[in-house]
Every structure is written in structure tokens, then in C-alpha cells.
Structure 1
Amino acid sequence: MSVWLIGADVLARSRFAVSPLIETVAALKALGGHGTHPGQRSWLEAHRPGYRARLAADPFAAAFVKVAFRPRWVADFVVTPPSQTDGGFAEEVGQVRATPPDVARADLATDWPGPLPPELRGDDVSERVADLFEWVWHGTVLPDWPRRRQLLEADIVSRTHQVSSGGWAAALDGMRKGMRWLDNGELQINGYDHPPRDLAGSRLLFIPTTSRRGWVGQGEQRYAVVYPCSGLLADPSIIAPPQALSALLGPVRAIILTQLESPKTTTQLVALTGYGLGSVGGHLRVLRDARLVWRRRSGRTVLYQRTGGGDQLVEMGAR
């Protein structure tokens, strides 16, 4: 398994961050069929025809997505952790554009069976990759960015609450498939058989994304864990609450209560359940009045979670 050695100093300096470029990579992977959510169907239906047309007209783009986004692998230079946690898309894509072409080609060639496709061998490879990312960002992500950013920031608030209440182990365990906190400052990041890597003196970021699967990235003295956001759009049919609970509370309130095992914002609940903001807000008020849900404010964000009574009701309904 791959393990990062993370001392107390590295963990103390680690940060959660939102990355427009990482979300653009997630969108590009989704458009290419690399793991999607039921809730992304309408977005995919709107943008996949344009994506396919772009690949059909651009041999470079077609070769790049084939080589750069293989199952359980992504080229390092396109997911290098951002140098600033509050930077914008232009700054982040600028890092990709500034990648020396020999570095980009070497990243793309990693474990590729044979020579790179001829389209990827030119000295303009980094420029053209950045151009593709800009096309994806402006055409598919930016129009949806306010909603996506709300989901990502809400996830960060929830994870930060987990850190403050249960420590880093509580926040990191299960953050992404195959990752868990071990003893003695060791973080298992995946199941690959690689030598342990000491992150002493490095900067560590945790970046949520709407991608179905996460990945890890690294740059000069910078590392990142990219993980699936807990506020992802979902199909309500796969989060159906116990029948008895639905009969008692009604199906929508039962779904909401079932989802509040951990703190979530109204925005996250809207995304998870598929119901409108007004509907979710109204049901939360009823659940709060019944003392099944409590709320707390963290900065500008309001988090909701089940009370002890709410926990008992969900547990009894599942029997």
C-alpha cells in the first residue's frame, strides 16, 4: 500500500481548499465517462455532445484524454496542487501552461505501453492542454460554478467540524476509497505497493471535488488529496429511508433525517435529496421544532445534524 508519513507539523499546516482547476479536471473526466453520478445526468446530456464534437475535431484533445485519464491514474502535471489556496482558475491553469514540455511528456508517458501518440510529442503540449482546460472551464464548469462552489465549501465546513470534534483521524478515515489514518503519523492513501513517502517540510492540501472518485497530486513541496465531496448530487432512490420512518414522518422528512447523521448544510441536502431549497428548508424547520434536528452556525454557513432523539428514531425505524 502507498503511505505518506505525516508529522504533527505537516498536519498542523495542512488546509482544506477549493480548486477550480481540480473541478475542471473532474468535469473532463466525467464527460469522458470516468465515473458519474445519477444527479449529473442533465449536466452530461447538456455538455457531452459538445465534448464529443471537440474531440472529433481535435486529434490532440482526443489523444490527451486517452493518455492522461486512464483508470485509477491521472497525469501529475494536470493535477499539481495549487500554490495558493485562494487562487482562481486563471492562476491554476497558468501552472499547467508553464509546465516544461519535457516534464509534461514524461508525465504522460508514465506506464504508457509504447511511445506517446504523435499528437502529444510537440513542444506545445502544455499550451494545448491548458487551452483544452480553458474550453472545459468556460463552457461547462463556470456556468455551474456558484452551485458547485457552495457544495464544495459546505463539505469543507463539515470536514472542519469533524476535525475539531474528533481529530484528523475522524476526518480522514473514509474520505476517499482506500484511504485511512494509521498509527504513528501514517496516512494510507491507496492500495498501491509504493515505498512510504515522508512529507516533512511539505504543504498538504485536502481538496473536495464532485468527481465520483478522488486522486492524489504532488508538486514541488506540495501534496494534495482530492476526494469526493459529501454533498454530491444523488438519486433519491438509492438513499431511501426505512419504510416505517417514511410512514411516520413522510418520505421527504425521513430522507432528510436519514442524511443528517453528520453535519450538512441546506445546500448539501438539496443536492443529496434532489428536492428544492424551499421544500428542504420547510422540512428542516419541522424537524427542528420536533427536536429531531439541531443547527449551528460556522461563519456564514449553517450546519444541521440529528439530535440524540433523531438518532434513536432513525435507529428504531431501521429495525
Structure 2
Amino acid sequence: MSGVLRIHFQDRDFRHVQLARSADPMWEAILGLHVLTTPPARLPEQLRPWRRRARERLRDGELRAACRLLGDLAPADAAYFPDFLTPAESELGMSAALSTLRATPAVRLARELREAARYRQLPPWTRQLAAGDRTLLGRVADAVRHFHERLIVPDWSEVEATIAADRAWRLEALEDGMEAVLATLSPFVWRDPVLTAPYPVDYDLHLRGRGVRLIPSFFCHTRPMAIADPSLPPVVVCPVRSHPPEPGAATRPPAALAPLLGAGRARVLAALTATFTTGSLAARLGMPAPTVSGHLKVLRGAGLVRSERAGAHVLHRLTGRGRHLLGN
């Protein structure tokens, strides 16, 4: 990547920073397509099992056709793909996003496809789409829906749980102010008043008091992505926080804890370096989820762990007593 994304903040922008409450289905679909077409060696370890399962499902001809059509519009190596593919209404769910996509005005289709053509040669069929062909636009929406239903939905609970844990971790940083939250947005670097990250092109996003909606993404793995049209509400998508695999220094309990709590319980306690769901904690430790759940119940009863429901998921974190016991 030869460029830099620079997001310019003013004082009033800090009052309008939003952190997405849940996974965004449209962004996850488009970025899932990018994972699907990226060689496994270039992917983080946690995305390779999903890619393997998804590739096995591509025996379906209709699904392969959907991937080809979407790949024409939003290839993984694109410096830009049309913003109409990721409408803001996606935060309300896939149905709302697809309705908005189908209703995209012809003038916007033409403008954004012209912009895409500045960076790469588009296939001939996109000229018809740029002319406002509603049937073709419907095919694009159907392709997104088909890709989402067949390849993303089967793993949606893992996606949601990962996003929920990531959001809780970032909100913990809010205790030290919004700048501390911005500092969690790897690979971004915060140097007041500009947030910067590697990008395919040089791009300056001036918030001008509008704030920005931050969307952590399960499938975003190489670089952040931003809505390109400066007239649209600012949106930045960034990778979820990656957790080091167990075993590791950060998740090894002090030697004295194993005799006190039991080896398994001590490992669970030490692994709570941030906020986790039961499933994500089990994956991190390589332990069965029911076993982790049992350990968490005992640790919660001892006042070492706090568990709180967030939508469909339960999030676990250390209490002050738990941190003290670990020497944190």
C-alpha cells in the first residue's frame, strides 16, 4: 500500500463518534467476499477455517455466479469500490440494506461507477448498471443476499460474538477518554488531531463536526476502509482486535493460582485480559465451551469475574478482585 488515510478531527467531532453496536451485515458480506478470494497464507489464522468452509460451498453454480458479479464491483484489491454497496441502513439489518441498495438513484450509480473506473477497468456489463438498469441492480442485490445467506449466516453467531466482545473492550478504554478509544483502532495511529492508517491511495477525510461511525468488522483483516464520498455520513470500518493464541505469557496464570483454583479455572481467569464471550474465550484457550462455562460460574460465584448480557450474548470480564488476584 502506497497511500495514507488521514481522518481529521475537530473538537466537536468527539461528541459525535459512534461505535457500532453489532456486526454490520452488508460490510461483513463484502469483506467476506474479499476473504474468500484472498490466498490463505495472507489471511490471519482465525479466518482460514471460515474460508475453507466457504470454498467448499462454492460447488453451487448460483453462488459462484453471485461471487463473480460482486467481485466485478468490489474486488479484494480494489483501491475503491462503490459506496452504494454498503448503505448506512445496513445497521438496521440486511433487509433494510438491500431495500436501500435496490433503490439507489441512477445518478448515484453513474457517479460511483465512474469513480471506480478511475482505478481499474470495469467489465462491460457495468455500463448498463451505470445507465440505471433496475433489473441489473436487482441482480446485484440478489447476489449480496445469496452470498450473505449461504456463506455468512451459518457463522453469524461467531461474527456477532466477536464484535460484541470487541465493542466491550473498546468501551472499557472510554474510561480514559475518546482519544483512548481511537488509540485502540489498529492499524490506525492517533496523533492529535489526525487518525492515520495505511491505505491504497492518499485520502483525507475531513469530519467537519459530523463525527464518525466506527464499525469493527470480523472479516476486515488488512486495512481499514472508509466511505469515500465526502457528502455521505463518515464511516470507517476497521479490523476487530486480534487475541494472541494460548499458550502465551499474557494468558499464563501465576504458578500459585493452579493449586488454589485448579489448573483449568486458573487458565480461564488469566485469559480474561479483556472482555470475552464464552465461545471466544473457549476458542482462545482451546477448551470445550461447556467446560469454560462451568469454570466461569465458579469464578463468578467467588467474585472474580463479572458476567453481563449484551443482546444475544453474555460477556465476561475480570472484577477488581480478579485483577488483584492475578497481580494486574
TM-score normalised by structure 1 residue count: 0.76
CA RMSD of aligned residues (A): 3.5
SS at match of 1:33: coil
SS at match of 2:237: strand
Asked whether the 8 Å contact 2:70–2:144 carries over to 1, the reply is no
Return 5+ residue gaps in structure 1 as ranges. Answer: 314-319
User: 1:28: which partner in 2?
Assistant: 33
| Cα shift at 1:78 | 5.2
Matching residue within 273, 276, 300 for 1:261: 273
SS at match of 1:239: coil
User: 1:120: which partner in 2?
Assistant: 126
User: 1:279: which partner in 2?
Assistant: 291
Asked whether the 8 Å contact 2:246–2:286 carries over to 1, the reply is no
Query: How many pairs align?
Result: 301
Asked whether the 8 Å contact 1:81–1:205 carries over to 2, the reply is no
User: 2:152: which partner in 1?
Assistant: 141
Return 5+ residue gaps in structure 2 as ranges. Answer: none
User: 2:102: which partner in 1?
Assistant: 97
Higher deviation after alignment, 255-264 or 165-174:
255-264
User: 1:160: which partner in 2?
Assistant: 171
User: 1:170: which partner in 2?
Assistant: 180
Higher deviation after alignment, 188-197 or 90-99:
188-197
User: 1:77: which partner in 2?
Assistant: 83
Determine the C-alpha separation between the residues in 2 that align with 1:284 and 1:65.
43
Determine the C-alpha separation between the residues in 1 that align with 2:62 and 2:43.
19
Distance 1:15 1:57, change over 3 A: closer
User: 2:15: which partner in 1?
Assistant: 12
| Cα shift at 1:133 | 0.8
**Partner amino acid, structure 1, of 2:33:** L
User: 1:304: which partner in 2?
Assistant: 317
Asked whether the 8 Å contact 1:81–1:222 carries over to 2, the reply is no
| Cα shift at 1:270 | 3.0
| Cα shift at 1:20 | 1.2
| Cα shift at 1:21 | 0.8
Distance 1:52 1:118, change over 3 A: farther
User: 1:317: which partner in 2?
Assistant: none
User: 2:71: which partner in 1?
Assistant: 65
Higher deviation after alignment, 149-158 or 122-131:
122-131
SS at match of 1:121: helix
User: 1:3: which partner in 2?
Assistant: 6
| Cα shift at 1:286 | 4.9
Asked whether the 8 Å contact 2:224–2:239 carries over to 1, the reply is no
Determine the C-alpha separation between the residues in 2 that align with 1:199 and 1:298.
33
SS at match of 2:274: coil
Higher deviation after alignment, 266-275 or 89-98:
266-275
Distance 1:305 1:30, change over 3 A: same
User: 2:306: which partner in 1?
Assistant: 295
Determine the C-alpha separation between the residues in 1 that align with 2:171 and 2:146.
33
User: 2:232: which partner in 1?
Assistant: 221
| Cα shift at 1:130 | 2.0
**Partner amino acid, structure 2, of 1:96:** L
1:131 and 2:131 correspond = no
Percent sequence identity is: 22
TM-score normalised by structure 2 residue count: 0.75
Superposed structure 1 runs of 4+ greater than 6 Å apart: none
| Cα shift at 1:207 | 1.0
Determine the C-alpha separation between the residues in 1 that align with 2:316 and 2:199.
33
